[in-house]
């Protein structure tokens, strides 16, 4: 009886590890916890499973039982009738097989497909230094050359054109260098920009022609109307993304700036562009711009569309980035100031890396939206993937094909957008520094 | 000044003037925050600024490195007058170190990168040398082993010591502290104060806004009491604590020291 009060205890043997009860782990445990934890949950789960099953039961045979080898809709239907009889619905993938290259490249000459392909590979090499750190410095040359080489590869023409375009930057830089030393840095910037513009508008064309006549370096020209399909979507998407990003940063910084005029310009630009539908801007690009430009100016339609898409995306980008900037504590600016960093150093080293990191989800949403918005150009008669869908449907052989074409286009867009979304999640995790 | 032999008096104060503020006034909109501030800090002085919340202590020391702009009067730091001339401001900021209540470390950079950033970009120090200096000061604040971590992974006291080391890497001639210990748990306050005491013993010119009266007694050679944007009283610590002259000072001291 006295033992009851004796609380002292000594363990003589240590316990081994036991595995947790089956009901809590593994697939059964997971289902029990997440799908069947309460009566309501059970009902909802069963209904959902039934819904998913019905969709897949209809979709999977349609997709995987489709006919790949048929050269017209009638032929495809005949094949299907032979195999399955009257009522079954199966996809006619023949249209994709037959028109695959057009959906990808539009009317781009097939013997020149290597040129846009090379440009795409070059693009990956060019952005590698941005995506991964620790690459050799020389890789940057590839990146710098990209914006000049890629258009040349895609549109062709004289190699002297991109060289002269590059020279414009050199001229501008030299003028800036000289005048900012002798006069002032602001005057230096203005004169540098003016010099570059003058070079491009007046000198670069004639000089390129002259050089071409001395040392001909021409490859086959491809017109803008020949560029189409996913190539066009990717082209517009990539230029829109890469250009709208820096412009968006500048607009966001401008909007937060103390300089009244800069601020007013940025606010005006952002609010105007955001207040207008993209379609309107595209119509402006395709119709109105020609009206205002001097007669005879050749201003490429794709270039015009690129500019509009970039402006549109940049305005949204600016607002997303401004949100990131506003989320930074004031102390970060003060610490940067107190250490003696100047405005641009503080922005580049302290503020933007953090603000952009905060805005990654918003930025990537914008990129995805922009990429999908490129399909709007089919309205101004550019043959992007959706434009091509209509062209193909207009053919006698494939008149009446709907789901296969739109499904394929949607699938390819999904692959790209899902890829971007996963990359942004990876980036967020990589930049996590524990706070 | 009395010449009693304390540790404090052994720290040398030269006649050279480090900071001179004359007739300085500052407004936030219509609100008159700082009223006719006159003070001179000589090289090697350690000044503690105290006063009730909202009295303008932070604003005062933030004016010294132009985080805030004053509207009237002059502030001369190291012989350079603070004006809207950007060159002067950058020069002064790189000579004057500042530590904040909330540390304000850069969370996206490692401790070492936090320390080398300004020397590399502002002073154009070569990377290797900047890294050596950074390690030297990390050892001085006794956390060299944290160099590769991110600020978010450190304790508050460690973060504040990193912040002090970050300022020291710029080899400043003057250090400003704005309540460096008031965001810290009691057991971390000491490690930060110890670092600051060591700095004072090496002869650094310091202006410290703090409510740590023990620190003021031990290190300061002058205590400044502010209220409602004005300097109400200043004296050496002995006199200031034992024999305050102004009623406001007496009231403040009685509140802060207990009875
Ligand atoms: N940016 C600002 N705009 C308007 N008023 C401000 C601003 N910053 C501070 N003030 C006001 O100026 C006064 C002085 O502020 P300051 O931060 O210098 O006080 P402090 O003495 O440091 O107080 P504490 O001990 O609470 O830190 C306060 O009344 C405060 O409300
Ligand atoms: Mg304060």
Evaluate: CB of B69 within 6 angstroms of ligand 1.
no
Residue of A nearest to B172 (CA): A339
pLDDT at position A295: 67
Q: Is the CB of B158 under 6 A from ligand 1?
A: no
Chain A residue with the nearest C-alpha to that of B98: A338
Q: Give the pLDDT confidence of A77-92 residue by residue, as tens digits.
A: 888 888 887 767 888 8
Evaluate if residue A267 carries a pLDDT over 90.
yes
**Residue among A340, A357, A433 minimizing CB distance to B152:** A433
pLDDT at A161 over 90: no
CA-nearest residue for atom 29, ligand 1, is B54
Q: Which neighbouring-strand residues pair with B182?
A: none
- Give the Å distance between the CA of B178 and the centre of ligand 2: 7
Cα separation, A240 vs A308, whole angstroms: 9
**Residues listed for chain A:** 435
- With an 8 Å Cβ cutoff, are B152 and A434 in contact? yes
Q: Which DSSP string do the residues of B131-184 spell out, in sequence order? A: HHHHHHHHHHTT-GGGTTS-GGGS-HHHHHHHHHHHHHTT--SEEEEESTTTTS
Determine the Cα–Cα distance for residues B41 and B54; give it in Å rounded to an integer: 23
Using pLDDT thresholds of 50, 70 and 90, give the confidence band for residue B8: low
Ligand 1 and B210: CB distance under 6 A: no
Q: pLDDT band at residue B4, thresholds of 50, 70 and 90?
A: very low
* Mean pLDDT value of segment A129-145: 79
Model pTM above 0.95: no
Closest residue by CA, ligand 1 atom 6? B28
Question: Nearest residue CA, atom 10 of ligand 1?
Answer: B28
Cβ of B100 within 8 Å of Cβ of A334? The answer is yes
> What's chain A's average pLDDT?
87
B12 CB near ligand 1 (under 6 Å): no
- Taking CA A321 as the corner, what is the angle to CA A317 and CA A325, rounded to the nearest 5 degrees? 165
pLDDT band at B5; cut points 50, 70, 90? very low
Q: Kindly list the strands in the beta sheet with B205-209, ordered across the sheet, starting from the edge strand earlier in the chain.
A: B96-99, B174-178, B205-209, B46-50, B222-227, B230-235
Q: How many residues does chain B have?
A: 259
3-state secondary structure of B44: coil
Ligand 1, pocket-test mutation among B24, B26, B49, B56, most atoms within 8 A of CB:
B56
> How far apart are the CA of A337 and the centre of ligand 1, in A?
19
C-alpha to C-alpha distance for B146 and A431, rounded to whole angstroms? 19
| pLDDT 10s digits, A354-386 | 999 999 999 999 999 999 999 998 888 788 898
Distance CA B99, CA A338 (A): 9
What domains does chain A contain, in order, with CATH numbers? 227-290+298-435 (1.10.3720.10)
What crossing angle do the helices spanning A229-255 and A385-393 adopt, rounded to 10°? Answer: 150
Residue of A nearest to B152 (CA): A435
Alpha-carbon distance B33 to nearest alpha carbon in chain A (angstroms) = 20
In terms of Cα–Cα distance, which of A303, A269, A298 is closest to A285?
A303
Say if ligand 1 is within 6 A of residue B54 CB.
yes
């Amino acid at each position: 009886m006295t033992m009851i009060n004796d609380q002292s205890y000594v363990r003589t043997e240590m316990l081994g590890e036991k595995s947790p009860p089956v009901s809590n782990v593994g697939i059964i445990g997971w289902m029990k916890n997440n799908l069947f934890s309460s009566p309501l949950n059970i009902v909802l789960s069963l209904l959902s499973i039934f819904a998913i099953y019905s969709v897949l039961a209809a979709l999977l045979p349609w997709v995987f039982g489709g006919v790949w080898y048929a050269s017209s809709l009638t032929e495809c239907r005949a094949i299907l009738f032979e195999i399955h009889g009257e009522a079954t619905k199966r996809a006619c993938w023949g249209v994709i097989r037959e028109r695959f290259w057009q959906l990808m490249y539009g009317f781009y000459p097939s013997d020149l497909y290597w040129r846009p392909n090379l440009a795409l590979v070059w693009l990956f090499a060019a952005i590698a230094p941005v995506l991964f750190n620790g690459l050799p410095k020389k890789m940057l040359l590839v990146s710098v050359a990209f914006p000049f080489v890629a258009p040349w590869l895609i549109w062709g023409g004289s190699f002297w054109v991109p060289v002269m375009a590059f020279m414009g930057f050199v001229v501008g830089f030299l003028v800036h260098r000289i005048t900012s030393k002798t006069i002032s840095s602001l005057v230096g910037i203005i004169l540098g920009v003016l010099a570059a513009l003058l070079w491009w508008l007046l000198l670069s064309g004639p000089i390129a022609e002259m050089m071409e006549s001395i040392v001909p370096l021409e490859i086959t020209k491809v017109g803008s109307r020949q560029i189409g399909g996913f190539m066009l979507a990717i082209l517009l998407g990539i230029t829109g993304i890469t250009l709208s990003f820096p412009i968006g940063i500048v607009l966001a910084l401008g909007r937060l700036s103390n300089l009244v005029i800069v601020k007013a310009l940025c606010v005006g630009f952002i609010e105007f562009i955001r207040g207008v539908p993209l379609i309107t801007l595209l119509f402006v690009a395709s119709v109105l711009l020609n009206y205002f430009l001097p007669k005879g100016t050749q201003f490429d339609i794709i270039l015009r569309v690129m500019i509009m898409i970039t402006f549109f995306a940049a305005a949204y980008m600016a607002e997303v980035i401004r949100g990131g900037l506003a989320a930074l504590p004031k102390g970060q600016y003060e610490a940067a100031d107190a250490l003696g960093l100047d405005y641009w150093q503080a922005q580049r080293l302290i503020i933007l890396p953090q603000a952009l990191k905060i805005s990654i989800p918003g930025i990537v949403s914008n990129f995805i939206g922009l990429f999908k918005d490129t399909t709007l150009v089919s309205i101004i008669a550019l043959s992007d993937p959706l434009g091509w869908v209509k062209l193909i449907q207009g053919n006698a052989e494939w008149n009446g094909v709907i789901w296969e074409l739109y499904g394929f286009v949607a699938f390819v867009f999904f692959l790209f957008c899902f890829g971007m979304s996963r990359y942004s999640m990876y980036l967020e995790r990589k930049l996590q520094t524990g706070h | 000044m009395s010449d009693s032999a304390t540790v404090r008096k052994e720290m040398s104060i030269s006649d050279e003037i480090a900071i001179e503020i004359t007739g300085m006034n500052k407004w936030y909109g219509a609100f008159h925050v700082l009223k006719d501030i006159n003070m001179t800090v000589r090289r090697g002085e350690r000044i503690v600024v105290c006063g009730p919340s909202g009295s303008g202590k932070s604003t005062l020391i933030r004016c010294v490195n132009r985080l805030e702009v004053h509207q009237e009067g002059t502030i001369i730091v190291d012989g350079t007058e603070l004006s809207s001339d950007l060159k002067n401001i950058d020069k002064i900021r790189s000579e004057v170190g500042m530590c904040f209540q909330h540390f304000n470390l850069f969370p996206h950079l490692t401790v070492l990168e936090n320390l080398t950033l300004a020397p590399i970009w502002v002073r154009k120090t070569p990377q290797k040398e900047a890294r050596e200096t950074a390690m030297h000061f990390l050892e001085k604040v006794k956390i060299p082993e944290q160099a590769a971590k991110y600020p978010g992974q450190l304790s508050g006291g460690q973060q504040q010591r990193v912040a002090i080391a970050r300022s020291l890497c710029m080899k400043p001639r003057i250090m400003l502290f704005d309540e460096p210990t008031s965001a810290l748990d009691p057991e971390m306050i000491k490690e930060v104060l110890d670092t600051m005491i060591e700095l004072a013993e090496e002869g650094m010119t310091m202006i410290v806004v703090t409510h740590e009266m023990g620190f003021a007694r031990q290190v300061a050679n002058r205590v400044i009491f502010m209220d409602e944007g004005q300097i109400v009283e200043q004296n050496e610590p002995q006199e200031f604590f034992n024999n305050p002259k102004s009623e406001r000072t007496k009231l403040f001291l009685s509140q802060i020291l207990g009875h």
